[in-house]
A and B are shown apart, each in its own frame.
Chain A
Amino acid sequence: EAQVTQNPRYLITVTGKKLTVTCSQNMNHEYMSWYRQDPGLGLRQIYYSMNVEVTDKGDVPEGYKVSRKEKRNFPLILESPSPNQTSLYFCASSSTGTVYEQYFGPGTRLTVT
């Protein structure tokens, strides 16, 4: 089954404790992206990657890091999480020929206390 998976689905952590949210897709997509969703704000793009070893900032990259060492994986790293990073996070992927049609993962709900 074609899908985007994220782990963990739920995470409660404390300020300053480094964490990684994994994202994996099995559709051989070149393009991958991370978003955060907050009430009343829709989804905002954090980082995206056009292909392996090619990443770029979205609209809200501060406090986040990403890497793209393999085509299928695009982890999101929070080196020192803060309470304002409490949010619902989505990973998405698509073919670069059809970036308008992104496939989203199920989401990761992160709470930073």
Chain B
Amino acid sequence: GESVGLHLPTLSVQEGDNSIINCAYSNSASDYFIWYKQESGKGPQFIIDIRSNMDKRQGQRVTVLLNKTVKHLSLQIAATQPGDSAVYFCVRESVRTGGFKTIFGAGTRLFVKA
């Protein structure tokens, strides 16, 4: 079936460095891949999405790369800041008859060291 999995449950980076959070998925019947950020005590917050027919998409300080050959997705955060400390989820969204199917990965906790 469909799934998404993250490579590392935790990631620690120095403030100002770039962060790369990785995600692998099975099957490719998805319309969108999405990254959400969850800060402590809050609900997930949308960061960026990428359609399955794209390879790269950039936002403000973030870039998502999609490699369909190896079924790999990554989120790159430039110049990581303390406010980036959170759990990051890769999510796949598939259109199906009558609705959408949303599958979350387990999450990677990003620690930013000052």
Contacts and interface: CB of A to CB of B under 8 A. Distances in A.
Q: Do A and B bind each other?
A: yes
Interface of A: 4, 31, 33, 35, 40-45, 48, 50, 54, 56, 58-59, 90, 92, 99-107
Contact of A104 (B43, B98, B99, B101): B43
Interface residues of B, number: 22
A42 B98 CA distance: 24
- Closest 4 A/B residue pairs (Cβ): A104-B43, A42-B104, A100-B32, A43-B104
Interface of B: 31-32, 34, 41-46, 49, 89, 93, 98-107
A92 B102 CA distance: 12
Given A99-B93, A100-B93, A44 B43 contact: no
A43 B98 contact: no
A106 B43 CA distance: 5
B15 to A, nearest CB: 27
Contacts of B106: 40-42
Given A42-B105, A42-B107, A100-B34, A90 B99 contact: no
A48 B2 CA distance: 18
Nearest to A42: B104
